[in-house]
Structure 1
Amino acid sequence: MANTSSAKKATRKIARRTAINKARRSRVRTFLRAVEEAIASGDQTAANTAFKQAQPEIMRAVTKGVFHKNMAARKVSRLNARIKALQA
């Protein structure tokens, strides 16, 4: 347990930030799940629209420090490749 007032404040700040990051991570995962389901169904137009909604959310999470830039770029790239593979 924190003893000093600054340590107590830091604990409060960490708890608040953790809740925000958890919500943001959950939101991104929801968008990703929508893309995955559209890909699994084989519907390219639905996959494209879901992907266009998911991509800004992923990048927003990067700017907020929830995800690493390279991890987000890798996810976007792989999802886009899978959507393009539906066409063939």
Structure 2
Amino acid sequence: MNENYEPVACAHHETYQYAVMRKLMLDLSWHDEAGVKHRARVLPIDVVTRDRAEFLVLKQKDGSIESVRLDRIVAAYSVDRGESLLD
């Protein structure tokens, strides 16, 4: 269970769902569980809830699949549009 999970704003959650539906490539920055910052161009493929937390499931450039907790995402930009999705 993720007791430290901080729910994200509904607008951000909807933005991630929109990115999944439209298959928008994202330039995403996030912190992992250890606090290490990551940045990658990814394809979001799903938004899921598990263990009382929400995650963006994404496909990395190398084809690997990863789940990033929504409250750990620092920035998300549309690669095609060059605009922030979190403003």
Q: Which has the higher helix share?
A: 1
TM-score by length of 2: 0.30
Q: If the length of structure 1 is used for normalisation, what is the TM-score?
A: 0.30
Greater RCO structure (CA 8 Å; 6+ sep): 2
Over alpha carbons, which structure has the higher Rg?
A: 1
